[in-house]
Structure 1
Amino acid sequence: MINCKDKPNLQHEKIVLPKINFWESQPSSSLPFEFKYHPDSIMDFFYTIENYKSTGKIAAQNSFNTLFSDATLFRVSDDLMAKDENGYPYKGNAYFFKKLPDFHNHKIMLFTYENSNQEYYLPYMELQTFDKDKLLIDKMIVAGGFAKDCSWNRSFSIDKNFTLTVTDTESCFDTEKEDIVDEKTIVWKYQIQENGRILEIKEKAL
């Protein structure tokens, strides 16, 4: 019989739960990676924040959302009408969209948002780089667009060498001629550096 005063010598095995690294809580997309809007459905529901939410591409509760840095300078050629648009710089929140592979221990993130001050606009996409302590290094707008009588569309791709290609296309529709006029395409090239900065390497007009 066991005396109530006697405590059984039970050995409890200590369970150590693995610590989840903040950066590892989201998987990385592989390179090369590209994003562009398809002209046939450029103002379709497919390209809206609401659809991104309903399809699980973004989430309001994602902790990565808090990393977003707003008021980004809009880099655009003086040859494009998009430079005259109001609503820049955007000040507000954004949604985490994708995590790209690390480059020299720097984190490369994509965020998306809609600017409520601009009508007929598609969601913007921003690429932002961070150090391991979550401090912003650099950022730029890599995708966006609007559809009016004159339209602008920006797409981008990033290759395995972390070379970033940003393509601006712009055109107008002539209602009298019932044809597209004033088409322009400008391609920007950038390189993500070892220090996380985004450096322009060339600009070429086609």
Structure 2
Amino acid sequence: MEKIDLLHPVLRSKARLLINRAAEAGFRIIITQTLRTKEEQDALYAQGRTRPGPIVTQARYPQSLHCWGLAFDIAVIIDGRANWNVAYYDRIGPIGESLGLVWGGRWSGFPDRPHFQLPGYEWSRLETVYGTPSKFIATWKEEKPMPEIPPWKDQVMKEAAQAGIIMPNIHKPQEPADKAFVLAVILNLLRVLTKN
């Protein structure tokens, strides 16, 4: 099982989408951390305190959303190796935010640029409601995976953008079309047709 498969189904989809959007922006990223066990979180918390190395977390188990499957960390890959230059993460962070994720790079007390999580969750509330991460995880319902984009769809989207029917920076082929999107396309198409 891949690490990404250990995430909450909604976050799993967003993580995969972030990988694709980062690639579109010219960055190769990998998911390095997802769901953490008690042993893993305790070991990270001990680092810089009772074990050698720098402090990398302020959270004991289960105080990190990683313990609940609601957070993941990334690494930017340059020349085949993880690169921790903050400038790269400062470019990728807003991409994650555009997908509705909370980016740890915005935190003032302990910025965590590789970190992304689902909004609206607090570990203390989860613990009150579910007791343990495993009980919370047992409530997850699988989300249907996003369908693959047919090869012809990219060409259609490109031609529609060139004709002024859609805006490529807003309308993405992998996202479902809602009523507003369909109406916008129809109105733009009418504008294009009435010009000719």
TM-score, normalising length: structure 2: 0.21
Larger strand fraction of residues: 1
TM-score (norm 1): 0.20
Q: Which has the higher helix share?
A: 2
Considering only CA atoms, is the larger Rg found in Structure 1 or Structure 2?
1
